[in-house]
C-alpha cells in the first residue's frame, strides 16, 4: 500500500498526518506525534519502528515536510523585472543580505508576491543546508521519501478555514511555548517564539483557561505593538492553532478583551475529494500544519510551490517534472490523435453505409424507370435530339469552313495557284494548303496570311524557289 505523509517538524516534535489514495479520493487514516531523537541512527530506528507499527503493508511512502519559520530567514526583496532564471540568480546573490550564511551553506527558494511596471517584489526564504540535508538523510534511511520541504505557514494556509488575504498573526500554541508568524496577504513576513509553561491535558481545560488566555494575550500584545510602532503594520486578524488550540475553543471573546482584533480558532476547511474518516475537528485542530502538508499531494503538481531542497535535489526534481510534462503532453497528443482516428473511422463507416444505401436506391430507381412505358418515347426523343444537334453542328462547321476559305481566297495573289486544301483532323482545325507560284507571290501570300488571319499557328514547312515561276509550296494553318 502507498502512503502520503504530511510531517510538521518543530524542534524535536514530529506531527504526522497519513493519507492514502483510493481512486480520486484521499482519506486520512492516521494522526500521530513522536519526539525524534537528536542522534541520527536513533532517529532512523524510531522512524522505522513507527512505520512498521502504523503503516501496514507499506509500499511507497512519500512525504511533504514542514519546518518552522524560526529556523528560516525570510526577507522581501525588490528586484528589476527579469526572466525567471535571472530572478533565481539575483535571489541567489542576495542570500548574504538575507541570512548570516554563505550561498554554499544555504538552501533557498522564492516567490513573486507583487509586480510593478519595472520591478517585482520577491519573498526570499533561506535555510541552512546542513539542517535540511540531515533531515532528508534521516527520513531517507527510514525509507520515507521526502519530496518537498516548505515553511509551516504555507502548509497551514492550505488547510485553514479562515481567509488569509489580510495581515494575519498566526499563533501556534505548543506545549513548550508559542510560535508567532505574521502573514502579509498569506505570505510569511516575520517569526518569533516565546517559551511558556502551558499545561497539557484535556481534563484541565477549564482550570487552565484563564492562565492560557493571559499567556497568549501577553505574547500577542508584544508582537502587535512592535509591528504597529516600528513597521506601521496593522494586524487585522489573529488565528490560534497548535498543540493546545483545543483549549481555546469558546474563548475568542476573552482573548479580544486584551487585543481589539478579531480572533478565530484555526479549523480545517472542507476540501473536495478529502475524507477525514472518523476524526473530528477537536482531533484535527492540533495537526492542521501536518495535514496541510499532506494536502499538497492533492495538487495537480506536488512539486509546484516553495521547496527548500538542496540545489542538486532540485535539479533531479526539475528533470522529473520535465519528464512528466513531456509524458503528459505526449499522452494528450496520442489521445487527441486516437479520438480523431476513431471519428474518421466512424465517419468513413457511416459514409459507406449511406453510399451503399444510395446505390441500392439508385439501382432500384433505374430498374423501375427501365420498365416504364415512357422510356421508348424518351429514347426516340433523345435520338431525334442527337440527330438535330449533329445536323446543326455540321451546318455550323460547313459555314465556318466556307468563311475561312473565302478569307484565304481574298488574300491569295493572282500569280498563286492553289492546288489543294486538306483538313487533317475530324474537327478541321489543321489545314494544309498546297500550291504553285513565283517566289515573290509565295512570300507575299505567306506574309498576308500571317498578318491577317487569326490562327494559332501559320507555317510554311516546304517551298521550292529554284525556278523563276511554278515553284511548289506547302503551308500549314492551325486554327
pLDDT below 50 — which residues of the chain? 197-207, 253
User: Distance between CA 271 and CA 288 in Å, rounded?
Assistant: 13
Q: Which helix (H) or strand (E) holds 337?
A: helix 311-370
User: What is the structure's pLDDT at 205?
Assistant: 40
User: What is the structure's pLDDT at 64?
Assistant: 97
User: What 3-state class would DSSP assign to 435?
Assistant: strand
C-beta neighbour count of 167 within 10 angstroms: 17
Contact 128, 135 (CB under 8 A): no
Among 282, 286, 293, 70, smallest CA distance to 198 is for 286
Q: Which helix (H) or strand (E) holds 384?
A: helix 374-410
Rounded to two decimals, the pTM is 0.64
Which is it for strands 61-67 and 3-10: parallel, antiparallel or unpaired? parallel
Q: What are the pLDDT digits (tens) for 216-268?
A: 777 888 888 888 887 788 888 888 887 766 666 555 545 565 557 888 888 88
Q: What are the pLDDT digits (tens) for 21-64?
A: 988 899 999 999 999 999 999 999 999 999 999 998 888 999 99
Q: Which residue has the cell 509586480?
A: 115
> What residue ranges define each of the domains in the chain, with the CATH number in brackets?
162-264 (3.30.420.40), 409-478 (3.30.1360)
User: What is the structure's pLDDT at 146?
Assistant: 95
User: What is the structure's pLDDT at 51?
Assistant: 93
DSSP state of 153: H
Among 23, 28, 25, smallest CA distance to 5 is for 28
User: What is the structure's pLDDT at 32?
Assistant: 94
Contact 175, 244 (CB under 8 A): yes
User: What 3-state class would DSSP assign to 1?
Assistant: coil
All three cell numbers of 35? 519526539
User: Distance between CA 75 and CA 58 in Å, rounded?
Assistant: 40
User: Distance between CA 256 and CA 235 in Å, rounded?
Assistant: 13
* 366, 370, 374, 377 alpha-carbon torsion, rounded to 10°: 110
Q: Measured in whole angstroms, how far is the alpha carbon of residue 140 from the centre of its chain?
A: 32
Amino acid at each position: 500500500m502507498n502512503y502520503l505523509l504530511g510531517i510538521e517538524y518543530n524542534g524535536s516534535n514530529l506531527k504526522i498526518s497519513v493519507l492514502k489514495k483510493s481512486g480520486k479520493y484521499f482519506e486520512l487514516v492516521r494522526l500521530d506525534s513522536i519526539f525524534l531523537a537528536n542522534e541520527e541512527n536513533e532517529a532512523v530506528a524510531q522512524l522505522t519502528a513507527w512505520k512498521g507499527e502504523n503503516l501496514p503493508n507499506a509500499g511507497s511512502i512519500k512525504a511533504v515536510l514542514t519546518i518552522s519559520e524560526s529556523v528560516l530567514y525570510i526577507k522581501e526583496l525588490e528586484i528589476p523585472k527579469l526572466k525567471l532564471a535571472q530572478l533565481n540568480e539575483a535571489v541567489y546573490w542576495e542570500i548574504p543580505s538575507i541570512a548570516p550564511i554563505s550561498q554554499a551553506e544555504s538552501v533557498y527558494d522564492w516567490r513573486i508576491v507583487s509586480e510593478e511596471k519595472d520591478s517585482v517584489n520577491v519573498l526570499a526564504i533561506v535555510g541552512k543546508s546542513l539542517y535540511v540535508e540531515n533531515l532528508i538523510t534521516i527520513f531517507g534511511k527510514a525509507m520515507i521519501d521526502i519530496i518537498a520541504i516548505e515553511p509551516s505557514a504555507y502548509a497551514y494556509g492550505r488547510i485553514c478555514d479562515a481567509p488569509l488575504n489580510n495581515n494575519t498573526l498566526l499563533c501556534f500554541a505548543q506545549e513548550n511555548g508559542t510560535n508567532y508568524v505574521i502573514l502579509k496577504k498569506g505570505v510569511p513576513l516575520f517569526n518569533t517564539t516565546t517559551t511558556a509553561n502551558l499545561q497539557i491535558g484535556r481534563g484541565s481545560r477549564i482550570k487552565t483557561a484563564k492562565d492560557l488566555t493571559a499567556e497568549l494575550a501577553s505574547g500577542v500584545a508584544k508582537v502587535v505593538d512592535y509591528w504597529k510602532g516600528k513597521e506601521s503594520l496593522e494586524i487585522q486578524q489573529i488565528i490560534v492553532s497548535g498543540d493546545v488550540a483545543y483549549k481555546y475553543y469558546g474563548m475568542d471573546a476573552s482573548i479580544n478583551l486584551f487585543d481589539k482584533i478579531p480572533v478565530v480558532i484555526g479549523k480545517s476547511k472542507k476540501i473536495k475529494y478529502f475524507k477525514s474518516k472518523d476524526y473530528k475537528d477537536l482531533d484535527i485542530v492540533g495537526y492542521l500544519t501536518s495535514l496541510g502538508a499532506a494536502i499538497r499531494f492533492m495538487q495537480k503538481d506536488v512539486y509546484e510551490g516553495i521547496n527548500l531542497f538542496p540545489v542538486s535535489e532540485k535539479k533531479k526534481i526539475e528533470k522529473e517534472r520535465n519528464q512528466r510534462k513531456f509524458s503528459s503532453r505526449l499522452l494528450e497528443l496520442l489521445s487527441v490523435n486516437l479520438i480523431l482516428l476513431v471519428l474518421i473511422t466512424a465517419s468513413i463507416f457511416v459514409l459507406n453505409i449511406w453510399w451503399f444505401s444510395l446505390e441500392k436506391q439508385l439501382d432500384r430507381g433505374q430498374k423501375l424507370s427501365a420498365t416504364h412505358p415512357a422510356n421508348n418515347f424518351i429514347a426516340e426523343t433523345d435520338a431525334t435530339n442527337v440527330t438535330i444537334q449533329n445536323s446543326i453542328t455540321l451546318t455550323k462547321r460547313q459555314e465556318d469552313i466556307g468563311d475561312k476559305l473565302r478569307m484565304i481566297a481574298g488574300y491569295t495573289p493572282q500569280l498563286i495557284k492553289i492546288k489543294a486544301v486538306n483538313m487533317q483532323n475530324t474537327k478541321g482545325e489543321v489545314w494544309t494548303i498546297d500550291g504553285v507560284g513565283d517566289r515573290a507571290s509565295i512570300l507575299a501570300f505567306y506574309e498576308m496570311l500571317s498578318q491577317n488571319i487569326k490562327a494559332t499557328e501559320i507555317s510554311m514547312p516546304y517551298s521550292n524557289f529554284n525556278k523563276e515561276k511554278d515553284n511548289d509550296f506547302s503551308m500549314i494553318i492551325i486554327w
